Each structure stands twice: as C-alpha cells, then as structure tokens.
Amino acid sequence: MVPEIMYSEIKCVLCQRCVNACPVNAIKVINGKIHIDRELCNVCGLCWEACLNEALKVAGKEVTVKEVLSIVEKDRIFYERSGGGVTLSGGEPLMQAEFSAALLAACKKKGLNTAIETSGYQKWELFLPILENTDLVLLDIKMMNTDLHRKIIGVPNNLILDNARKIVELGKDIIVRIPIIPGYNDSIENLRNTAEFAANIGIKEVHLLPYHRLGESKYNQLGRIYNLKDVNVPSTNYIESLTQIFIKNNLKTQVGG
Amino acid sequence: MLEAKVYCFDEKFRLPITPRIKKMREEIVEAKPILCSERAILVTESYKETENEPAVIRRAKALKKVLENMTVNIWDGELIVGNHGGNGRRSAPVFPEWGTYWLEKELDEILETRTQDRFIVPQKVKDDLKSIFPYWKGKTVYERYRAILPEETKKARDAYIFTRDLFERGGYGHVAYDTPKVLKVGFKGIKEEILEKLRKLEKTCAEDQQKRLFYEALLITSDAIINFAHRFSEKAKSLAATETNPTRKKELEKISEVCAWVPENPPRDFWEAIQTAWFLQLVVQIESNGNSVSPGRLDQYLYPFYSKDIEEGRLTIAEAQELIDCFWLKLNEIIKVWDKEATRVHPGFPMTQDVTIGGQTPEGYDATNDLSYLMLNAQEHIRLQNPQFTVRIHRNTPDEFLMRVAEVVRLGTGMPAMFGDEICIPAIIRTTGVPLDRARDYRIVGCVELTPRGLQGRANGAYFNVARIVDLAINDGVDRLTGEKIGPSTGDPNNFKTFEEVIDAVKKQMKYFIEQNVINNLIVDMVQRELTPHVFLSSIVEGCIEKGKDITWGGSLYGVTPIQCAGMATAADSLAAIKKVIFDDKKITMAELNEALDSDFEGEKGEQIRKILLNAPKYGNDDDEADRWVREITNIFFDEVESHKDIDGRPYTNFILTLGSTVPHGWRTGATADGRKAKTPVSDSMSPTNGADKNGPTAVLKSASKIDQIRIMQGNVLNLKFSRTALEGDMALRKFVQLVRTYLVDLKGMELQVNVVDAATLRDAQRHPEKYQDLIIRVAGYSARFIELAKELQDDLIARTEHSMI
C-alpha cells in the first residue's frame, strides 16, 4: 500500500504550477487537461505544495500504530458517552493484516471498543490475531455462487464463507453486510441463499447496503476507471421488498449501516 | 416549586398544528413589514406637553399617551391579543427619542429599496414623520451622545474597531424582567408596593425626592398598562356583539373577560397567565426600541396555571397548545425599523425575544415539564424567526426530552439553540456573584446572554473586531486599508526579534481600544440616564422599586456590560500563521508578510505567500498548536474587558457573538495573516474560519472547549452544519444527542446550535466549495464530504434534499 496523488478537475484552474514543480516530469497538459503519469510519479508531494487551489493532494500516508492511536485518543471523550469506538474500514483492513492486528491490540489495551469492516478474504492464521482484539465484525457476503463470485469479484468465496463460520464459532459479534448491486447480486435466489446460509451458521443480524455512487469521483481523481457507471441506484421500495427474505429467516434486518 | 421527578415522554404531548394556527401563520408570513407613525406622533405630542417636567415623568406620560391612543386591533382567530403598531400585522412603530437623523435621510428612498429589511412606507406615514423631525432636532439620544463624545474616542469609534451600533441610537432591552412576580401579584400588587414605598419616603431628603418622582412615574405606567388591557377588553366586547359565529363569539367574550382582569390582577387560569406574559412582552417593546426583550422561562412560569387547569378539568392539552402557538405567533408581529448600518449587523429583523425551556429548578432538580414539550411542538408548528428559542441542558436532562429537542432541531430552523448548565451556572456566579439558586434559574436573553433573574445586561457593549487588533500590532497601529494611524505605536514590526514581541504589541493595541470602547459606552449610558429612563421596564425588574431607581440608573439587582468579540478565529489563525511561518519556519519575513497583506496577496509572490499562510495550523481541528492561539487571543481580550467597570460600577464581561457584524467588520479589515483576503467577512462568533476545520464536528467541539468559556458570562455561539440526511433516522438522532451531551456536559461547552443544511446551501457549496470544506452529507448509512463528490451526485443529493424538505 502506497500513497497516491489525487487530482480534482473541478478545482483545477490549469495554472500549470504543478507541471513546472514536478521533478520527474510526470505531469503534462494533454488536450487542455492535466494528465498524471502514475508510473513515473514517486509521490514526492512537490506538485501538491505548488498547487494554489487544492486541486492536487496526496491520498494515504504511512503511519505508525502510535500515531494512529494518538488521533483515536483525541475523541475518547465522545466514545465514553456514546459507547462508540474504533472501526477499521475500507480499503480493506485485512490487506494490512499485521498492522491492523497491532493497531486493534493497542486500542483494546486502551479499553476502546473495536470493530472491523471487511471482505473476510484472508488466511485464517492472519485473520485470527485481528479477531482476538475485535469486538464486532462487519462482514461482507457479496454472493453465494462461488463461480459467479470468482467471475465477478475475482476470487472464489469458500475462504470467506469458512471464515464466517469460524468467526461465529469464536463467539464474536458479527453482522453480515450485503451490498445490493442491481444486475450483479440482487437476484432473489442469491439473497435467499445468503439468508439461509447466515441463519444456518448462527448469524443473527444483516445489513442491506443499497448500491450508491459515492466512490465515483474518487476513482476519477485517482485516475482509475469506474466500471459501474451504468448501474442505477436501487429504489427504496425494491430494497424494502428484499428485506422480507431475511426477516423470514429470523434475521434482524436493517437497510443501511 | 416542582419536585424532582423522572419525566417520561408521552406521545399525547406530540400535537399537530390546528387550522386556526396554520391560517394565522400564513397571514403573518405574507404580511409585509410596514412603517407606522402613530407612536411617533403621540410621543411627540406628549413631549411637547411635558417640557417642564423631569425625564422620568415625561417618559411615563409619553407611554401613557401611546397606550391610551394607539389603534388596538384584534385579528381574526386570535386568542392572545395586543398589537405593536397600528397599521398591520407586522407594523413597526418609530422611536424618535433615540434618533431621527438617519430616518430623515433614509425615509424617502432607502427604507423601501434597500437590499434587506425593506419596509412599506405609506405617504401618510412619511408626511407624519416629516412633520415631527424639526421638533426632535438636537433632542435625541444619538445627537447628545455624539456631541459629548471625546474626540479621541470618536476617532476610534469611527475607525470601526468597535461599534455599539443600534444601542447608540436605541433603548435597552437585555433585561430578565420578573414575569413570575406579575403572575403572582398583578399590577395591583405592584402599585400597592409602590404606594407603600412612597409613604415611607423621607420628604426632606433630596435623594428621596428623586425617588418620589420615580415612583410617581411608575404609578403612571402601571395604570397605563392596565387601561391598555381594558381597551382590548372593550374592543373584544364590541366585536363579540356583532359576531355571528357562536364559537368565535364565545372566544371574544372570553378575551374580553381576560383583558378586563389581567394584568391588573393575578391570573386565575392558564389563558390569563399567557395573556399577562404577552402584555408584559409587548408594552416593554412599545416603551422603547431596545432589542432582545425576552419572555424567559415560560415553561416554568406558566406551569402552575397549566397544571391546576388540567387537574381541575378546565383545560385540555390541545387547548393549552393553541394558546402557546398563539403566543409564538404574536412574537412574530414585533418588528423594528433600524438604519442601514444597524441592518447590516442585524439583518433579517432579529428581535431575539428569547424563550428558554428545560434546565434546572432553583433547587437543582430537572425542570422539564409538560409545557417544555408543548413549546417544542409550538416551534415545530410555527418555525419562524421568533421566539429565539433555547433549551437548557444539564447532566440530568432526560434522554427522551433531548431526543424530542433533536427532532425539532432537525427541522432546520437552527433552533432551539442548546445551552449547557454545567458551565453556564458557574460562569454566572463567577462574574456576578449571584446566589446558586438564582444562578440555576437563569434564562437566555436575546441571542445567547446568560441572565439570572434581576440582572440587566447592558448588551451590547459593542462588537469589537479582534482581527484588526492583531493586524494593528504587526503594522504599528496603522489601519491597513486607509493608511491612517489609529492605534498606539507598538514598534516597527520588522524589528520584532521574537514572537513574544508580537503578543506584547497585541496586548497594547487591545488595551487601548477596549479602553476607548468603554468610554464610548459610558457616554451612551450617561445620555440614556439623562434622557430616556425606562420607566415601565423598571416596574417589572427586581431591585428598581426596592432601590427607588430606574434601570438606567443601576436600579436592577444585578448588572453587567458585555463586549462582543468578533473575528476571533481570524485573529487566532493570524497569530498561529505569524508564529509558524515567520518565527518558527522562517519561510517569509515580517516585511514580506506586510507587503503581501498591503497588496491583498497580489501577484505570483502574493499568491504563494497566501498559500503558505493558508497551510499554517488553524483553529477548529483539535490541534493544540493552533488552538493555543485562540486561547491566547481570547484571554488577552477577556483580561482587558474584565479590568473595567460599567457606569453602575458593575463588571464588564465577555461575549463571543458576531451576528451579521462579520460582514461590515470585514469591509473595514484589510488582508489578514491567516490568508483571508481584504474586505471579506471576518470569522463568525466562536466558529472556526469557514472551511478551516477539516477534521469533523468532534474536532471543532474539542477545539472550542479549550477556550476558557467560564469567562464568557454573556454567552457564545458555536455553529455546526449538518445535512438534513445526516440526522435522518433514530440511530443518527441518538448519536447526535450523544454528541450534544458530550460537548455540553462532559466538555463543559456553553452553547451549540445546529444548521441543518438545505438545497440552496448545497447549491452554494457547488459554486463555492472552498467555503464548505466541513459540510458532511449523509447518504444511506454512509457519510461523505459534499464537496468531494462528483457534480452529478451532488445534483442528485440536492434533488433529494429538496425532496425531503417539509
């Protein structure tokens, strides 16, 4: 995981200060637009410093457990009142499993409530140390058909489902979260299978997360392609009808997280 | 007094708006502000008749004349009666006693065409007013004040470092008058008390002869309000005689009965009690044009009448609700005409008539009662500018009450504002020394002024721009925009070797201008003593009858004068930037800074310096490096303010509130070292500079809690912005309630008010993203920074926001 430069076209006035500031010539103006060659860019930050309009900024930075903890500690007074705490979320905390484990352990040591939001895709021996210091697991189950899972998400789902079982066996609080993405995983069959699976292994609660497009501008700013442009946001009524499948399986069901 | 009890929210206290209230609300919304000359003409006649009499008597007779002769109206459907002006639902009387010079200038064109707070001015009103201007020439408070203001102070005042604004040409209003006493004894009882005092005077003593005049004046105004009520009784009776609708006929007969009885006598039921409260609120505002006249803790004062009526089966909850709603509507009929300058500082007719609910009893028990809930309903029903609606919160405030408060906040009127007893009560005691039970019975007066019973706040004691104080300190006392030397010499800034020298210069500039501010106030207050005693008001403020002194002469039991700190974050961020950029990192020199500020960051170099300054630490991010400078600048301000005593020998105290003064103060402020461009607004109240807070609401609250709020006895304002969707659903609301509790109870914050952002704001955020860095928008179970989202999504959210608007 490395920091990346984010570029916002809306804020840019094309003054080209960044072009001149870049020591490796990674920024060019092509067809009246700023173009960043992300192969060349070494994220030195000079372009960001040169920009007067905050059109450029660095996304992500390297931090130590201690640094994160000092930020977390600042809001302790609010957690004490609300019973809130620390949630490690996306990206994906399991991609930095060792760091996540160390951070959660440090939070627990400070007496803070902890949660993770995860795809669940990680070897159990790396996952377990994280779970040891996690009070609540928010686990994505995107689809039950493993072939489709492999085709659309890129990996099979066995590991995720196995992990789900093991988390329940550990006695951890767990909530299954299902992003509802029209045309991909919103078939009645998939959702019924998910509900049955969850109920079978002893899960009590699910959250349905209707697809939204909040991520699109971030993709653009990072120079990545957003593949779900054509997917429509599902209607409230539709989502409401889907909740019935879960309620029938005696699962506490909520729309949104 | 109420007992300690655990309150349980009952759905029966959630009531819908009735057709009557809905219709009257529409009439008020549609009524255009109109100028009325009746009062001005009557007061002028009275003044001409009383030229040989002392000021107290002249004031009393003038009020009597107005109350006896002004038009009385009872509008269709009204249950609570009493009108402010004579020619419409939002009719503004004129108060020539305090100043006519501006009206002469603005009458013909400006009032009808200015960009905000416009008035309809009928030709007859113009002619009437023009006929009295010659009489008032040289006789008004404003002219006297300007004539005797020392030259040096005049120069400082006109340089606009501070402005007392409409209080240089208007009456006093910030008083916690004693509604409970009138509810207990009526004006009959007050008159008996005055007569008793008169009997006991030592007739050969000069001081007592002064008191005699004062008491005689009080008797005149007491009879005047009683007879004023009787006029409404007669009016209702005559309307009843011709009324064909039997229900309305009965209502009019009841109104007639009520006004024949109160406020002369103590009320016998809830209706009479609330009518009494309205007569007090109204007549104080006909006597003078003082601002922020506040009914106070109505849920507490009215509760005994309500509970008795309910117990005895004479009143239903729904009937009580309608009476409260009627009172809420009446507050919105009050409207005043101010000059163009005052309108800039106070745009949008803020009468700031504060109603406070919740909090604690004098004994320290939770004070929430049925009426607290009904008043929340009233706010939900009326949703107009008045009252300035406030709820007090303490460690034992019930959760269900706070949830209901949050529901009303979510409607988006920014009200009720929420105050924390945990800091307010100690702050009141620290400055005024009132006993604990009295402090616990405080109410909010005006916008945010903490006011225990019997206290007169001589608010405002001016909006004082601390951003310019910092700028004068790095410019040797020279006004950056005019080049004129207005402050003391505090040394060539280029020779400052350490940051401490900057701070020393700030202290010297502060000392000088606070002193000038205090002199300016003293002169205004001297003139008010001489020309405009507030006789009627004095009859209902604790202490005045006892001491035989008008409130302008220090008659109230307690008093303070506050000075408002404006541009706090601009000043603090400027100090943080100077320290970091010039003295720590040595990125630029003081000379380069001054050059950039003089040119308003012109050219490539100017822009680069501005960027460096903008990147320096900023207040509002829970960053100790930046927040220590907000502590520093506020404490320098507090120290200077608190070193003075006011005209009555009572404490000067602090106030962090700007209202609209951020704009006119901004116009007179050149570019500042925090990176702010010249002539743009200075920072608002206690809030961070727009867009400077980037770490979310918890960080803002933490930063604000580092200021020594116990020193801000007359209150402060902290604004938080939320999108409507951010507070949707019970879960979100519950989290919001916990956030409020953390700030007000655990962090001992003083005040919090929430803006629920609507579509128009979101559109503005699209056009000016730089101003809305902190705008968090919630979409489903997920929140994001609005300005970071794609245009299309923003449009979508705007559409959704509009959709969710009620």
> How many angstroms separate the CA atoms of A14 and A34, rounded?
7
Regarding beta strands B782-785 and B776-779, do their DSSP bridges make them parallel or antiparallel, or are they unpaired? antiparallel
CB-CB contact of B778 with B438 (8 Å): no
> How many angstroms separate the CA atoms of B145 and B167, rounded?
11
The model's pLDDT over B442-487, given as tens digits with 9 standing for 90+, comes to: 999 988 999 998 999 888 889 999 999 999 999 999 999 999 999 9
Q: Let me know whether A128 and A236 are in one domain.
A: yes
Of B770, B781, B788, the CB nearest to A257: B781
Give the model's pLDDT for residue B800: 57
Q: Let me know whether A17 and A82 are in one domain.
A: no
Q: Which is more confidently placed, B726 or B206?
A: B206
Q: Let me know whether A51 and A78 are in one domain.
A: no
What is the average per-residue pLDDT within B566-582? 97
In a domain, B88, yes or no: yes
Q: Let me know whether A85 and A110 are in one domain.
A: yes
Which tokens belong to A34?
Answer: 């700023």
Give the model's pLDDT for residue A49: 85
Q: Which is more confidently placed, B690 or B195?
A: B195
Please indicate whether, in this complex, the C-beta atoms of A77 and B742 are within 8 angstroms of each other.
yes
> Which residues does chain A have within 8 Å of residue B608's beta carbon, measured at their own beta carbons?
52
B19: enclosing H helix or E strand: helix B19-30
Q: In this complex, is the C-beta atom of B189 within 8 Å of any C-beta atom belonging to chain A?
A: no
**B434 exposed, middle or buried (CB, 10 Å; 0-12, 13-18, 19+)?**
buried
CATH number at residue A41: 3.30.70.20
Give the model's pLDDT for residue B592: 97
**Which of A75, A78, A86 is the best substitution to test chain B (most B C-beta atoms within 10 A)?**
A78
User: Residue A139 forms beta bridges with which residues?
Assistant: A118, A176
The model's pLDDT over B14-71, given as tens digits with 9 standing for 90+, comes to: 999 999 999 999 999 888 899 999 999 999 999 999 999 999 999 999 999 999 999 9
CB-CB contact of B24 with B78 (8 Å): yes
CATH number at residue A227: 3.20.20.70
Give the total number of structural domains in chain B: 1
> How many angstroms separate the CA atoms of A135 and A133, rounded?
7
Give the model's pLDDT for residue A165: 97
Give the model's pLDDT for residue B549: 97
In a domain, B228, yes or no: no
What is the average per-residue pLDDT within B285-313? 96
What number of residues does chain A have?
A: 257
Q: What angle do CA B672, B673, B678 make, to 5 degrees?
A: 20
Does the pLDDT at position B185 exceed 90?
A: yes
Does the pLDDT at position B198 exceed 90?
A: yes
In a domain, B139, yes or no: yes
Q: Let me know whether A21 and A97 are in one domain.
A: no
> Which residues does chain A have within 8 Å of residue B702's beta carbon, measured at their own beta carbons?
74-75, 77
Give the model's pLDDT for residue B7: 47
Our CA-based measurement puts residue B730 at a distance from the nearest CA of chain A, in whole angstroms, of 13
> How many angstroms separate the CA atoms of A163 and A122, rounded?
8
Token pair 């007067």 in the structure block, residue: A52
Q: Let me know whether A150 and A239 are in one domain.
A: yes
The model's pLDDT over A34-55, given as tens digits with 9 standing for 90+, comes to: 999 999 999 998 998 888 878 8
Q: Write out the residue range of the structural domain in which residue A154 sits.
A: 65-255
| Closest C-alpha to B539, from B261, B262, B283 | B283
| Closest C-alpha to B319, from B329, B328, B311, B309 | B309
Does the pLDDT at position B522 exceed 60?
A: yes
User: In this predicted structure, which of A23-27, A49-53, B542-546, B610-614 has the lowest mean pLDDT?
Assistant: A49-53
Q: Let me know whether A80 and A136 are in one domain.
A: yes
Does the pLDDT at position B777 exceed 80?
A: no
Give the model's pLDDT for residue B1: 36
Give the model's pLDDT for residue B781: 42
> Which residues does chain B have within 8 Å of residue A52's beta carbon, measured at their own beta carbons?
607-608, 610-611
Give the model's pLDDT for residue B131: 97
Q: How far apart are the first and last CA of chain A?
A: 26
Q: Which is more confidently placed, B505 or B724?
A: B505
Please indicate whether, in this complex, the C-beta atoms of B781 and A216 are within 8 angstroms of each other.
no
Q: What is the mean pLDDT of chain B?
A: 92
What is the average per-residue pLDDT within B527-534? 97
Our CA-based measurement puts residue B592 at a distance from the nearest CA of chain A, in whole angstroms, of 18
> How many angstroms separate the CA atoms of B470 and B454, rounded?
37
Regarding beta strands A4-7 and A56-59, do their DSSP bridges make them parallel or antiparallel, or are they unpaired? antiparallel
Cβ neighbours, 10 Å, residue B440: 24
Give the model's pLDDT for residue A152: 92
Please indicate whether, in this complex, the C-beta atoms of A213 and B610 are within 8 angstroms of each other.
no
Restricting to B residues 654-713, those with a Cβ less than 8 Å away from any Cβ of A are 698-699, 702
CB-CB contact of B23 with B181 (8 Å): no
Restricting to B residues 589-628, those with a Cβ less than 8 Å away from any Cβ of A are 607-608, 610-611, 622
Q: B803 Cβ partners below 8 Å, 6+ apart?
A: none
Does the pLDDT at position B296 exceed 60?
A: yes
Per DSSP (E only), the strands in B656-735 are: 719-723
> Which residues does chain B have within 8 Å of residue A224's beta carbon, measured at their own beta carbons?
none
Q: For B706-777, where are the alpha helices, taking DSSP H only?
A: 729-741, 759-767
Of A82, A216, A218, the CB nearest to B738: A82
> How many angstroms separate the CA atoms of B283 and B171, rounded?
13
Q: In this complex, is the C-beta atom of B766 within 8 Å of any C-beta atom belonging to chain A?
A: no
In a domain, B765, yes or no: no
Q: Which residues of B are identified as catalytic?
A: 447, 449
> How many angstroms separate the CA atoms of B84 and B70, rounded?
9
In a domain, B48, yes or no: yes
Q: Let me know whether A73 and A44 are in one domain.
A: no
> How many angstroms separate the CA atoms of B773 and B352, rounded?
30
Which of B174-191 are b and which e, b meaning 16 or more Cβ less than 10 Å from the residue's Cβ? bbbbbbebbbeebbebbb
Does the pLDDT at position B5 exceed 50?
A: no
Q: Using 50, 70 and 90 to split pLDDT, how confident is the model at B384?
A: confident
| Closest C-alpha to B578, from B596, B562, B566 | B596
Backbone angles phi, psi at A87, to 5 degrees: -120, 125
Q: In this complex, is the C-beta atom of B793 within 8 Å of any C-beta atom belonging to chain A?
A: yes
> Which residues does chain A have within 8 Å of residue B793's beta carbon, measured at their own beta carbons?
213-214, 216-217
Q: In this complex, is the C-beta atom of B396 within 8 Å of any C-beta atom belonging to chain A?
A: no
Q: A64 Cβ partners below 8 Å, 6+ apart?
A: none
Backbone angles phi, psi at B716, to 5 degrees: -140, 170
Give the model's pLDDT for residue B780: 42
> How many angstroms separate the CA atoms of B717 and B684, rounded?
9
Q: Which is more confidently placed, B290 or B310?
A: B310
Give the total number of structural domains in chain A: 2
Q: A224 Cβ partners below 8 Å, 6+ apart?
A: none
Q: Which is more confidently placed, B405 or B349?
A: B405
What is the average per-residue pLDDT within B233-237? 98
Of B611, B698, B769, the CB nearest to A75: B698
**Which of B782, B786, B795 is the best substitution to test chain A (most A C-beta atoms within 10 A)?**
B782
Give the model's pLDDT for residue B304: 98
In a domain, B71, yes or no: yes
User: Residue B310 forms beta bridges with which residues?
Assistant: none
Q: Using 50, 70 and 90 to split pLDDT, how confident is the model at A133?
A: very high
Give the model's pLDDT for residue B784: 63
Sequential DSSP letters for A134-162:
-SEEEEE---S-HHHHHHHHSS-SHHHHH
Our CA-based measurement puts residue B619 at a distance from the nearest CA of chain A, in whole angstroms, of 15
The model's pLDDT over B595-632, given as tens digits with 9 standing for 90+, comes to: 999 999 999 899 999 999 999 999 999 999 999 999 99
Chain A contacts to B (CB-CB under 8 A): 10-11, 52, 54, 74-75, 77-78, 80-82, 84, 207, 209-210, 212-214, 216-218, 220, 255-257
> Which residues does chain B have within 8 Å of residue A210's beta carbon, measured at their own beta carbons?
780
Please indicate whether, in this complex, the C-beta atoms of B769 and A11 are within 8 angstroms of each other.
yes
Comparing alpha-carbon positions, the chain B residue that sits nearest to A234 is B780
What is the average per-residue pLDDT within B544-568? 96
> How many angstroms separate the CA atoms of A134 and A14, rounded?
46
Give the model's pLDDT for residue B792: 66
Please indicate whether, in this complex, the C-beta atoms of B781 and A52 are within 8 angstroms of each other.
no
Q: Using 50, 70 and 90 to split pLDDT, how confident is the model at B799?
A: low
What is the average per-residue pLDDT within A102-123? 95
Q: In this complex, is the C-beta atom of B783 within 8 Å of any C-beta atom belonging to chain A?
A: no
> Which residues does chain A have within 8 Å of residue B745's beta carbon, measured at their own beta carbons?
81
When computed from its CA atoms, the radius of gyration of chain B, rounded to whole angstroms, is 27
Comparing alpha-carbon positions, the chain A residue that sits nearest to B789 is A217
Secondary structure of B429-491 in the HEC alphabet?
A: HHHHCCCHHHHHCCEEECCCEEECCCEEECCCCCEEEHHHHHHHHCCCCECCCCCCECCCCCC
Q: In this complex, is the C-beta atom of B747 within 8 Å of any C-beta atom belonging to chain A?
A: yes
The percent of residues in chain A predicted with pLDDT above 90, rounded, is: 67
Q: Write out the residue range of the structural domain in which residue B150 sits.
A: 37-168
Give the model's pLDDT for residue B793: 67
Give the model's pLDDT for residue B723: 76
Q: Let me know whether A189 and A224 are in one domain.
A: yes
Secondary structure of B232-297 in the HEC alphabet?
A: HHHHHHHHHHHCCCHHHHHHHHHHHHHHHHCCCCCCCCHHHHHHHHHHHHHHHHHHCCCCCCCCEC
CB-CB contact of B218 with B538 (8 Å): yes
**Which of A58, A140, A181, A214 is the best substitution to test chain B (most B C-beta atoms within 10 A)?**
A214
Comparing alpha-carbon positions, the chain B residue that sits nearest to A15 is B604
> Which residues does chain A have within 8 Å of residue B784's beta carbon, measured at their own beta carbons?
214
Sign, CA dihedral B275-B277-B280-B285, equals negative
Does the pLDDT at position A159 exceed 90?
A: yes
> Which residues does chain B have within 8 Å of residue A10's beta carbon, measured at their own beta carbons?
769, 791
Q: What angle do CA B638, B639, B643 make, to 5 degrees?
A: 110
Q: What angle do CA B234, B235, B238 make, to 5 degrees?
A: 85
Give the model's pLDDT for residue A223: 87
Give the model's pLDDT for residue A255: 87
Last residue of a domain, one of A42, A59, A76: A59
In a domain, B44, yes or no: yes
CB-CB contact of A233 with B798 (8 Å): no
Does the pLDDT at position B368 exceed 80?
A: yes
What is the average per-residue pLDDT within B247-253? 98
Of A74, A75, A209, the CB nearest to B780: A209
Does the pLDDT at position B670 exceed 60?
A: yes
> How many angstroms separate the CA atoms of B513 and B466, rounded?
10
In a domain, B412, yes or no: no
Q: How many CB pairs under 8 A join A and B?
A: 67
> Which residues does chain A have within 8 Å of residue B780's beta carbon, measured at their own beta carbons?
209-210, 212, 255-257
Sequential DSSP letters for chain A:
---EEEE-TTT-----HHHHH-TT--EEEETTEEEE-TTT----SHHHHH-SSS-EEEE-----HHHHHHHHHHTHHHHHHH--EEEE-SS-GGGGHHHHHHHHHHHHHTT-EEEEEE---S-HHHHHHHHTT-SEEEEE---S-HHHHHHHHSS-SHHHHHHHHHHHHHT-EEEEEEEE-TTTT--HHHHHHHHHHHHHHT--EEEEEE---TTHHHHHHTT---TTTTPPPPPHHHHHHHHHHHHHTT-EEEE--
CB-CB contact of B636 with B511 (8 Å): no
User: In this predicted structure, which of B139-153, B336-350, B727-741 has the lowest mean pLDDT?
Assistant: B336-350
